[in-house]
Amino acid sequence: MFGNTRKARAAAFAALAVTVALVATGCAATGDNSGSGDEGSGDANYAITFLPKNLGNAYFDTSDAGGADAIKEFGGTYAEVGPAESGPDAQVSFINTLTQQGVGGIVVSANDPQAICDALNEARDAGTKVVTFDSDTNPECRDLFINQATAEGIAKVEVDLIAEQIGGAGKIAILSSTPNATNQNAWIEIMKTYLASDYPDIELVDTVYGTDDDQASFDKTAALLQTYPDLKGIISPTTVGITAAARYLSTSEFKGKIALTGLGTPNQMRDYVQDGTVTAFALWNPADLGYLAAYAAKALIDGDITGAKGDTFDGGKLGSFTVGENGSVLLGDPFTFNKDNIGDFDF
Amino acid sequence: MTALSPSPTVGSRIAHGFGAFVKARETGILLALVLVIVAATVKNPNFLFSSDGFRDLLLTPSILLLVAVGQAIVIITRNVDLSVGSVLGLTAYLTGRLFIDVPGIPVIAVFAIGIVAGGLLGLINGALVAFAKVPALVITLGTLYAYRGINVLWTGSDRINSSDMPASFLALGTQSILFIPILTIIAVVVLVVAAWYLRNQRGGRELYAIGSDPDAANLYGLKVTQRLLAAFILCGALAGLAGVLYAARYGTVNSQAGAGYELNAVGAAVIGGVAIFGGSGSVWGAAIGAYLLLTINRALPILGVQDFWQRAVVGALIIGAIVLDRVLALRQARRLVEARDS
Amino acid sequence: MTNFLQALAPATRTYKDHSQPLWRRILFSREAAVIGGTLLVILVASLSVRAFAKPITATYLLLDIAPILLIALPMSLIIITGEIDLSVASIVGLSSVTLGVLHQGGMPIEAAAVVALLVGALAGAVNGFLITVVGLPSLAVTIGTLALYRGLAVGLLGTKAVTEFTEFWTDLAKSKIGATAIPSVVIPIVILAAIFGVVLHLTPFGRGIYAIGLSAEAARFSGIHVERTKFILFMLSGLVSALAGIYYTLRFSSARGDNATGLELSVIAAVLLGGVSIFGGRGSTLGPIAGAVLIGVLASALRLANVTSDVINIITGTLLVASVVATSFLAWLRTKRSRPGKKTETLAAAKG
């Protein structure tokens, strides 16, 4: 009797394990097709994976789609992985998996300049090329950085926009993404310097972090308006933040009275520009950014460039680009969207 | 000869009722809530007196209120349901998908489907607990993982935007009737019905019996399995309703909606006087606990405390509440023993 | 009279030590089933998942499950006594933040690590105090301390992360033993596992843990210090969680209040999968280790096959529920089968 139940127990477990293993096989059989990039055939390994700050973010959807277009053009294999929530170490296990899989290139937007460095260097030791875009890591961990615009340019355009909208004087606050994000922190530093030098009558009262989570950004906006009743403007240098803030403002009594600007995508902001919550905001073309990053990865994989200053490579339909200081490549300048031109774009 | 005590007069009845009200656990929490609101309003009158402030004060905790009420019902039966956050997330996403995939679907149908979906998810929990006799902690820990995983798998890297849902539905999330937000009205109606059911209906009172002593309830002949199933289904259905309201309130739903709600729900119930060991407490307490928790969250930045300390405050309140309950229970037991021995 | 007593206590034993021969006891145990499942998954994965059968897989796998293995050791002891500790992940976060804040403030990393360990032990002691002295149920207490410790961790650092750590220690956390693919962190894990195993199976303290799990009242009357044992176990849990937190911080070079959120679920899943009964009184040390390895291998294989991490979460959650339901179901089967036979046996014994 005891023997029967012990055996039954062992059998139950074996059955469970077999079922799970079969499921794994099934998934592996389908998954294997998308992950291949055979070195044996003599081609370069064009399996490039995009690793954004987090998934479910409209900005990265557009940029990664641009990358997918580029990869289709030069015949590589595209994949996109990422954590559901932004965090400094959330990307590490994905990078580890990519190293194990032996992909040709990783294109990553980093949540922190330092935290993923070791994992990226392990990947590079295994032969993978690493390109950062949108948000950089420390230069020694990657081969190239594709910068959407100069940090000075981005900071300046946002401060100019808010100053124009609040009449050059008053209290403003910043709604950023995660506290460690390389790009936002760089822009915020320059914003502070620029405010001090050019707009002494504008006071920056607080910087809050919505961690690129929609609900958190929504609630943080509400808290800002509660805590600082005489706030005149909010700058949100992240597309998730500005969308959530606009949504809150458009149903609050402060609509139209508090200026909101920052970096947003036209599709997400169109309703709020049209109903008057937001007057103008800035961005660049994220699809071009992802496109260029993919071509940069291809150039590295081919061995055309090593990421040294002065290297030039082909950026597909965007033309030829030269590597600048510290291994960074500049895409262009930020672009201002407002009521007049927002209908012309679809991303 | 037995001397009959005189039947209670109206005056003594009122006095007795008033005494019970003052001594009730829930009153203490209500007082704490009032204190917090007063302190925050003194510091910044906009907290209560601006139309946004008043609306947000009532509106934001309404969703948690529903989840806390469901959680309280389950805790009263000496179980716990940790999967409510994931159920909320799933039904919120389901709501968005219904509006996208079935254009023109009436809002009331979406509400019904959301509640039924939540009830089904709760049924799975309840069945495993009632039939397999496994502790609810483990079951709901597993379903917390599993439901969230299903949510993320289904969502992919998608998200529901407010433009996907009809304006009439979103208006529910922001409009008010007579200065009281519609969401709050819905939540309070549910609260009143739940409280009445638990106090005055047989099914409700049997839940207390099951929580106080499951073995005795079994021996007494109560249909324990049925009641447990009902409790879990109710909890899931309320979480489902909360998910629909979440979609109306926030307008944007991603795969992480509702993450962490279960902790706030259990905390709200425990702070509100629902004993974690089952058998006592009321949904009024859980509702006030929900309001207290979220109002403290909003009041902290105004009082000058960095809102990063929110979770610590919640944890301290939970521990304080259960220690207080324990001390009160010990004192009560000692008093009863003295009364018996004297 | 003496004849009667003699008849009741025969001088020689007529029954065997065990009901099963040794090979059967080893092969048909829960641990063997889990290990068998692990081997099966490794086999299938090596054949069907590209890039699985490489040494680097084992490295990343062990680096990933190291915190779970560490915390599963005291957690299985706690669950055997019938309690539970849900605050372990928050203690990991708290010790991680302590390490980060102190190191950023200038303290050498070794001293900061010691302080972090002390903080963990203190946190565990607070749990133990509330459970044994004040007499609160461990579920409620550890839900409260889960929020409190996580809140303290997030409050100390905000959502910012400390990412600058001494390279020597971060390299050590990820280093491997000699030329093999096995990470060095396995050494402290093996040592701790051996210690916990010896304590649980070969000391009176360990037997006491089983006794408390089966019946705390009976254990108290047998002379076992129930409160003291539980207090020590919770303090150990805090200490080992702090150690896991230090490792986690060094491995990811990132001290953040949100570190290891949700880790307690993985630990409990591993422990319950490994055969420790949630009702208390049953379990071993090897089982949870095998359970953690099974979950880790499964997750690793699925990740390499490009199955997203949420599916892995679904499988972990389902495995957790299935393993506990299966145990419950098999126990019910056993009572159904034993009842008819037992009745006649006892009646016969009483008569004869």
Model confidence over B107-127: pLDDT tens digits? 899 999 999 999 999 999 999
Contact criterion met (CB < 8 Å) for A227 and B174: no
- C84 CB neighbours in chain B (<8 A) are 137
DSSP codes of every residue in C64-95: HHHHHHHHHHHHHHHHHTT---TTHHHHHHHH
C312 vs B contacts (CB less than 8 Å): 149
Token code pair at residue B115: 């509640």
| Count of domains forming chain B | 1
- The model's pTM: 0.84
- How many CB atoms sit inside 10 A of residue B52's CB? 18
**Residue B17: per-residue pLDDT:** 74
Question: pLDDT class for C319, splitting at 50, 70, 90?
Answer: confident
Chain B residues lying within 8 Å of C275, measured CB to CB: none
What is the tens place of the pLDDT at every residue in B70-83? 999 999 999 999 99
Range of the domain at C245: 25-35+50-306
Task: Catalogue the E-assigned strands of chain A.
Answer: 47-51, 77-80, 105-108, 129-133, 144-147, 170-176, 202-209, 231-236, 259-262, 280-283, 312-314, 320-322, 328-330, 335-338
In this structure, is residue B26 part of a structural domain?
Answer: no
First vs last C-alpha separation in chain C: 18
Per the CB < 8 Å rule, is B157 touching A223?
A: no
Confirm whether B98 is domain-assigned. Answer: yes
Record: contact B149-C317, CB cut-off 8 A: yes
Which residues from chain A sit within 8 angstroms of residue C298, using beta carbons?
Answer: 20, 24
For A215-264, the DSSP string reads HHHHHHHHHHHHH-TTEEEEEE-SHHHHHHHHHHHHTSTTTTTSEEEEB-
The domain tally of chain C equals 1
On whether residue C325 sits in a domain, the answer given is: no
Gap from A238 CA to chain B (nearest CA, Å)? 16
B209/B280 Cα distance (integer angstroms): 9
Residues of A in contact with B250 (CB under 8 A): 214-215, 218
Instruction: Give the CATH number for residue C239.
Output: 1.10.3470
pLDDT of residue A16: 56
Within a domain: B339: no
Whole-angstrom Cα Rg for chain C: 23
Segment A52-74 mean pLDDT: 88
Task: Note the pLDDT of residue C35.
Answer: 86
Which amino acid is located at A317 in the chain? K
Q: What pLDDT, in 10s, does the model give residues C102-156?
A: 998 888 989 999 999 999 999 999 999 999 999 898 988 998 999 999 999 988 8
Is the predicted pLDDT of residue A334 greater than 70, yes or no?
Answer: yes
Q: Between chains, do C161 and A180 touch, taking CB under 8 Å as contact?
A: yes
Mean pLDDT for chain A overall: 82
The shortest C-alpha distance from C23 to chain B (Å) reads 31
Q: How close A239 comes to chain B (CA, Å)?
A: 14
- Residue B175 touches partner A, C-beta closer than 8 Å: no
Rounded Cα distance between C319 and A78, Å, is 32
Q: Nearest Cβ partner of B53 from A218, A219, A226? A: A226
Query: What was the pLDDT predicted at C129?
Result: 96
Which pLDDT score is estimated for C263? Answer: 87
| Entry field: residues in chain B | 342
A197 contacts chain C (CB < 8 A): no
| pLDDT tens-digit readout, C69-104 | 999 999 999 999 999 999 999 999 999 999 999 998
Burial class (CB in 10 A: 0-12, 13-18, 19+), A178: buried
Q: Quick check: A32 pLDDT over 60? A: no
Q: B322 and C144 in contact (C-beta within 8 Å)?
A: yes
Asked if A56 and B252 come within 8 Å (Cβ–Cβ), the reply is: no
Q: What pLDDT is attached to residue A27?
A: 44
Q: Which of B262, B296, B319 to mutate against chain C (most C CBs within 10 Å)?
A: B319
Tell me the per-residue pLDDT of C172-228, one tens digit each, with 9 for 90 and over.
Answer: 888 888 778 888 899 999 999 999 999 999 999 999 999 999 999 999 999 999 999
Cβ–Cβ < 8 Å for B140, B83? yes
Q: Which residues of A touch B257 (CB under 8 A)?
A: 215
Angstroms from B214 CA to nearest CA on chain A = 29
pLDDT score at A176: 93
Is residue C352 classed as helix, strand or coil in its secondary structure?
A: coil
Structure tokens at A43: 């081609």
Range list of H helices, chain B: 10-23, 25-43, 46-49, 51-76, 84-101, 107-132, 136-155, 167-174, 182-200, 202-212, 214-220, 224-250, 261-271, 283-302, 310-341
C270 assigned to some structural domain: yes
Let me know if residue C313 belongs to a domain. Answer: no
The reply to whether residue B250 touches residue A215, judged by beta carbons under 8 angstroms, is yes
Whether the CB of C266 is below 8 Å from some CB of chain B: the reply is: no
By Cβ distance, the residue of A3, A25, A118 closest to C20 is: A3
CATH number, domain with residue B132: 1.10.3470
Confidence of residue A4 (pLDDT cuts 50, 70, 90): very low
List the domains of chain A with CATH numbers. 47-149+286-332 (3.40.50.2300), 151-283 (3.40.50.2300)
Determine the structural domain holding residue B95 and report its residue range: 35-332
- The mean per-residue pLDDT over the stretch A27-38 comes to 39
The residue with greater pLDDT, A42 or B187, is B187
Chain A nearest-CA distance from C233, in A, is: 30
- Does residue B326 sit at the C interface (CB-CB below 8 Å)? yes
Q: Nearest residue on chain C to B277, judged by CA atoms?
A: C137
Distance from CA of C296 to the nearest CA of A (A): 13
Ranked by mean pLDDT, which of A111-115, A200-204, B84-88 comes out on top?
Answer: B84-88
Which B residues in the span 68-97 are in contact with C, Cβ-Cβ below 8 Å? 80
Taking the C-alpha atoms of residue C165 and residue C103, their distance in angstroms, rounded to an integer, is 8
From C314, which residue of chain A is nearest by alpha-carbon distance? A20
- DSSP tag of B8: P
Residue of chain C minimizing CA distance to A30: C305
Distance from CA of A271 to the nearest CA of C (A): 31
Please report whether residue C128 resides in a domain: yes
Whether the predicted pLDDT of C57 surpasses 70: yes
Residue pLDDT, tens place only, A292-316:
999 999 999 988 888 888 888 888 8
Position C311 in a domain: no
Q: By the CB < 8 Å criterion, does C307 face chain B? A: no
Helix, strand, coil percentages (3-state) for chain C, rounded to 5, are 75, 0, 25
Distance from CA of A233 to the nearest CA of B (A): 17
Residue A25, amino acid: T
Give CA–CA dist A251/C318, Å, rounded: 42
| Contact: B152, A84; criterion CB under 8 Å | yes
